[in-house]
Every structure is written in structure tokens, then in C-alpha cells.
Structure 1
Amino acid sequence: MSIGTRSTVLQRRLHIAERIRQQGQVRVDALARECGISTVTIRADLAYLEDQGLAIRTSGGARATGAVRHGARDAQCPLSTPQHRAMAMIAARLARPPMTVLLGPGTLPALLPPYLPPAPDLNIVVTSLDALPAARQHGGGQVHLLGGQCHPDRPDIDGPAAIRALALHDIDLFVLETAWIARTGLALHANASLPLHQAAARAARATASLLDAGRHGASTPPCAVLLQATDFLITADRPDTPSPFLLADLGFAPAPPSGDPARLYARSRARSADAARPPSTRKDTQDVGAPVT
């Protein structure tokens, strides 16, 4: 009799796993109705599937493993302008003078300059011509354009010369734009330079990733280096954002400030912006790398 019970449980869990794979995301109450069992049992099934790497639990349901993205939904529901601004504002609050902030390529990093503190000892390095005008207008300190190759079909600067140019700047905070997150790493949008992003993430004392999951399109494979070097993750506040369970497993926890349209997550072992500085030049530990409240 016990063998039969195990077989029934196994078949049900395989059915649920297949449903998650097909639909991308499922709800506990819907599965309970479909299988004719209690929501408590369904939650136990989802916990088992997550332990086996077959699902990622979310609030009220579960989603497929791998990338946290839903192509059809993303194509229909891009991030709104208020969500973009809220994410940029949260990222800008991570910049505390005296700092040098490197703005990576992409739409979201280019939105930061108006929200950065207008301090003379806050320097900005841009990797895109799109970000240069705003950085020059709103920056209080020095503004640098990273040296390197400028592509004829987009405003980004990269290439071997750009990677070498990173050594000319003492980078405290690197702000980059990513397409999606998985357990195996962070993925960039299509055409973004992975070597440049990897080099910048290694060079910076702290890295903040703006997750632009609402922009549908091709992307690079997930890169573990980017994930390991990411100290702060900023997402829009919407149903298809990464699962809290996934982010917790990756070492991220909610951190203030959290605006209504966006959320900030900090890695528990985050490298603060001043953590790598010599003790004689560090600021007070309570004022280092922390968001402005």
C-alpha cells in the first residue's frame, strides 16, 4: 500500500513539474483544484520540486527554473517610465561622495546622473555617449568618457582599449544593466560587451545591477562572474520580478530604501563601496556604501 501511495505522489509531482515547465508559472490554488487535493499538500509538492531543482517557489505559486523571465509577458508589459526612474533613483542613492561611479552601457544607467548627489568629489565615468550629456549637466565632480572603441551602430564604448582604460579610474561603484537572473548568473542584453562588464565588475569595489526584465529580446548566456560580483540588485516592483526564494538562495535580502515602483536587494556579504580602501581613507562604517534614507 505504501508503494502505491508513493507512486501516486510521484505521478502527481511529475504532473505538476510538467505543468510548470509548460506554463512557466503556476498558482497553488489552481493546482489544488486541478489535482483535487489541499493547498497544504500542493505547497509540500512544490517544496519537493524546488529541492530537486525542478521549480522555484514564489508567493502563492511556483515558476520554472533557470532564467527569471517570461518572454510573452515582457513583450506585452515593458517597464514603465516611473519604474525606470524609481530604479535609477535607488541606484543613485548608493553613490556617496567621495566616490567614482562607473555607468555601464544601457538605458537604465544613463538615467542616473540627474539623481546623483551634486558633490564636487563625486566623479562619473560613462561608457555610453547617451549618458554623457546628462552627466556633464548634472555631475558635480569630474566627468570622464571611458576610452575605447565607439561602435558605429550604437553609442556604447567597449573593446580591449576600453578594458585597459578601466585601470585609469579608481572605481567605487559600477552600475550595470542586466536582462535576467538565474541561479547560474546574470545575463546582459544582446550586443552588450560581456568582457567589458566582467572587467568592470572585478575592478569596482561595489556593483549594482539594474534588472530590466521588462525589455524583451535576445540576451547573452548567464555569467556567474557578474552574479558573484553583484552587491546590490534593483528590480521593478511587478509580478514577474525574481522570486524572493531565488534571491534569498543567491544571498540577496530586501534593503531600504524601497520605493513603490522599485525594490532594492543587498547581498548579505556585500562589499561596501569603501571596504577595499586603506583604513586611513575609509569613512565611518555606518556611512559606507549604505543607501541614503
Structure 2
Amino acid sequence: MIVDALKDYGRVRIDDLVKSVGVSAVTIRNDLAQLEQAHLLRRVRGGAIAAFTSRHDGDDGLSMPTRLKEKERIVSAAVEMIRDGETMFMSSGSTADLLAANIPSMIKDLVVVTNSINVARILAGHSGVTVIVTGGTLRPKSNSLVSPLGDVLLREINADLALLSASGVHETRGFTNSSWAEAEVTKAMVRAAKRVVFMADYTKINHIASARIVELGRADTLITNKAAPADFMKAARQKGLEIVAT
């Protein structure tokens, strides 16, 4: 709840948290200390301020386990969009890894083009999937292949579907990524796909990362959670973006 409040308001006060949660100030201070150690906030006099920056990708060790169910629901919706006989782009990220692990065994003829070493390794064991790796420069943090040379192969491929991840999704700034190099590869996938679908759990909504990918209207669909802000979903739909809320 503290993390969500910081995402919405940028700052929280201990007194307000005590009243809204119904616990002691000591408990709140302990929680703030743990969150600060995880680099999710910075404590200030009387409360805390958000530590999320434009290069924060949201996939830290503390938040991932608490969001696993949300990501699983997103992946379930994404799996329904996959069809035999198609060529599909997949970008890197924890949601992409989960998606790769859940592509049904009934799929017999799917080509997956990815810049993710993790995705390629996972799909290597799927007999119905042909994996093409983009090539490029290894980005160790995400175990992905990026520019320079990360988008060269993508210029030669036309895909039916792109299932992509983003670090942030915002009404006016669109889909963004914490890595400029990663964003360039994702842009190339968007340009070469007939249908573009982004996957982002509710914590990514209204976050603006440093590298812009595309505006909301350039994508066809966003798969997110029902916990995503209602005002954002309304505004996004008005821009022509289909929202699948899981």
C-alpha cells in the first residue's frame, strides 16, 4: 500500500499512514526502513518520498513476488492471442520470460523472434516453436540483445504479432523503457508487426521511464490488471487503445 501511494502521490506521511492502515507509527517506520533498503523510497522527516526514477524498470526483487499473480493473469490473456502459423516478436523482461514458459504445448508451428536470451533458452525446449534471436550487443542487466546492431535483423522480418513489455505506460508520454538501447529494439519490433500488444502490470501505469517507445495510439492493445487506474484506462481507450484488464 505504501508503494502504491508513493506511485500515486510521490510522498507519504507517517501520521497519515497510521490513520489509514490502523497500525502503530513504529510499524510504519519499520516498513519505510525496509522499503528504503530495497531502494523503493527515500525517508524524509515525517515520512518518505518516492525513489522511482526515469530509469527504474519496476522489476526489483521485493516487488516481483507480490506481483506474480498479476503477471500470470496478464500472461494468460496474452497466450490467447498466439496462433499457429504466425511469426511473433517478443521483447525482454520478466513478463516475457513468464509468457515463454507458458506457450501451450499444442502450438505446433510458431516462429518467435526475440532479443531476450532468457526467452530463447526457455523456448528452446518447445518442439513447436522456431526461435530466431535478433543478435546485437548483450545487455547483462536484462540478459537481452540491444543496439548497436540489435535492430538490424528486425528490418528484414514482417511479424503478425508483437507481444512487448514496457517499464512505464502513461496517457501522454505513451509506452516507455528504462533503457534507451532496449527501447530502440522495441521500436523496431513495433514498426515491423501487424498487431502490437504491450503487457504491463498495474504498477507500470502512470510511470514514465526515460526512453520513449511509442505513443499509446500506436499500439493495438494493452494487457494490464483490473487494479490499473480507471481514469487512465478511460483516457487510453479514447486514444484508440484496446485495454484488456485481467
TM-score (norm 1): 0.55
Match of 1:184 in 2: 173
Q: SS of the counterpart of 1:105? A: coil
Map 1:107-256 → 2, pairs under 5 A: 107-117=94-104, 118-138=106-126, 140-182=128-170, 183-190=172-179, 193-214=182-203, 219-223=209-213, 225-238=214-227, 240=229, 243-254=232-243
Amino acid at match of 2:188: A
Change (3 A) 1:147 1:239: closer
Change (3 A) 1:201 1:114: same
Checking the alignment, whether the CA contact within 8 Å between 1:173 and 1:208 is kept in structure 2 is yes
Q: Structure 1 residues 86-95 or 146-155, which shifts more?
A: 146-155
Q: SS of the counterpart of 2:117? A: coil
Amino acid at match of 1:91: A
Residue 100 in structure 1 maps to residue 90 in structure 2: no
Checking the alignment, whether the CA contact within 8 Å between 2:93 and 2:142 is kept in structure 1 is no
- Cα deviation code 1:25-80 (max 9, x no counterpart): xxxxxxxxxxxxxxxxxxxxxxxxxxxxxxxxxxxxxxxxxxxxx95798986652
Distance (Å, rounded) in 1 between the aligned partners of 2:127 and 2:100: 6
Match of 1:88 in 2: 75
Amino acid at match of 1:90: A
Distance (Å, rounded) in 2 between the aligned partners of 1:214 and 1:192: 23
> Could you say which structure has the larger radius of gyration?
1
Deviation at 1:166, TM superposition (A): 0.8
Larger strand proportion, structure 1 or 2? 2
Structure 2 portions without partners, runs of 5+: 1-7, 11-48, 53-57
Change (3 A) 1:243 1:137: same
Distance (Å, rounded) in 2 between the aligned partners of 1:143 and 1:242: 39
Root-mean-square deviation (CA), in Å? 3.3
Checking the alignment, whether the CA contact within 8 Å between 1:208 and 1:231 is kept in structure 2 is yes
Amino acid at match of 1:195: E
Deviation at 1:170, TM superposition (A): 2.9
Distance (Å, rounded) in 1 between the aligned partners of 2:73 and 2:50: 23
Amino acid at match of 2:194: R
TM-score (norm 2): 0.65
- Cα deviation code 1:118-147 (max 9, x no counterpart): 423211122111112221123513112212
Checking the alignment, whether the CA contact within 8 Å between 2:202 and 2:227 is kept in structure 1 is no
Checking the alignment, whether the CA contact within 8 Å between 1:180 and 1:212 is kept in structure 2 is no
- How many correspondences in the alignment? 191
Distance (Å, rounded) in 1 between the aligned partners of 2:141 and 2:9: 37
Structure 1 portions without partners, runs of 5+: 1-21, 25-69, 256-261, 264-293
Checking the alignment, whether the CA contact within 8 Å between 2:221 and 2:242 is kept in structure 1 is no
